[in-house]
Amino acid sequence: MPDVTVVGSLVIDFVFQVQRQPKPGETLTAEAFGIFLGGKGFNQAVAARRAGASVAMIGRLGDDVFAPLFEQALDREGIDRTGIRRSGDGTGVSSPIVDRGGQNTLIVAPRANLTLTAADVDAAAPLIESARVVVAQRETSPQSIRRTAELARHAGVTVVWNAAPAGPAEPEMFLLTDILVVNELEAEAFAGCRVDDELAIREAARRLQERGPRTVIVTLGERGAFVRSGTREQRLAAFSVEAVDATGAGDAFVGALAARLAEGAPLEDAARFANAAGALAVTTLGAEPSMPRRGEIDLLFRTSEPR
């Protein structure tokens, strides 16, 4: 029985490091290049596992040369992959472009991830119904995401929905979600208001909570995070680290949050722990390599004051 089950994407990342982001029509020469395993689902599963949870994952890979790389990595991490199937559409791919400040832009071709169906989720239902926390994003088909939340809600399992990337609203998912996690851009898109100062963040979180989730967390990058649960609001300061690559920081936050919640930690403690994990993730290039391990998170959490 897993502590955390992640239903989500598996994407191979071709990462380009550049001095700055390119302008429209401009060609830049990369300062460095790397190939990494990623996708929000994979990253969050790895993050939860490294944060101390037992983890299962449900998703789709292509029937290609990239699939064994993910299968081997999941086995290496000790993540149950019985819920992962192959499809003929090709494994998802992306190209993050990371500048010297650690900020990134991203182009993604989801491919096999979008072929995950509600029937696939039903076939792996025991992995959802036996978990303490279930995590989903928006990088697989809407039907698979909704079915995941339905099964989890029916079984009394906590649903953490990382509504990323932003896109068309899904009213049913907001109603089925216990804890909604979004970044500033996603908060703007779903709340229908700008998120450019403290008051605006609070208003966006309130609007999102009105759509169904009991808890809304807005991650704010180097400015930490904002949590609204019930009528209680809390601003979490960021931990001071040297940023190398922001890719995967949000995934580290979500995975670590799920792991701590599965342990029975109070929301405030789990969110602060997740905040530390997200900070550590920006100190390493690439998504999967940057997912921190429990000892690292605990050390930063215990010994560093948020700024």
- CA atoms of 244 and 96, how far apart (whole Å): 13
Range of the domain at 53: 4-10+40-60+113-303
- Using DSSP, state whether 9 is helix, strand or coil: coil
Catalytic (active site) residue 13: no
Is residue 74 one of the residues assigned to a domain? no
Q: Coil, helix or strand for 86?
A: strand
Residue 179 lies in a domain: yes
As for how many domains the chain has, the answer is 1
Residue 162's Cβ-side half-sphere holds a number of Cα atoms within 13 Å equal to 32
pTM of the model: 0.93
Q: Could you say which of 178, 251, 269, 298 is catalytic?
A: 251
**Share of residues in the chain with pLDDT > 70 (%):** 99
Do the domain assignments include residue 299?
Answer: yes
Residue 55 lies in a domain: yes
* Residue ranges of the chain with per-residue pLDDT less than 70: 305-307
Backbone angles phi, psi at 272, to 5 degrees: -65, -40
pLDDT value at residue 306: 66
| pLDDT, position 305 | 63
- Residue 215, in any domain of the structure: yes
Q: 176: domain CATH number? A: 3.40.1190.20
- Tokens 């169906």, residue located: 117
Domain assignment present for residue 104? The answer is no
The alpha carbon torsion through 73, 75, 79, 83 (nearest 10 deg) reads 100
Query: Between helices 40-50 and 249-262, what is the axis angle to 10°?
Result: 50
Has residue 69 been placed in a domain?
no
Q: Give the pLDDT confidence score for residue 14 in this predicted structure.
A: 93
Cα distances (angstroms) measured from residue 260 to each of 32, 127, 133, 177, 228: 35, 19, 10, 18, 18
In terms of Cα–Cα distance, which of 203, 243, 268 is closest to 98? 243
Instruction: Specify the pLDDT at position 245.
Output: 79
Residue 29 counted as domain residue: no
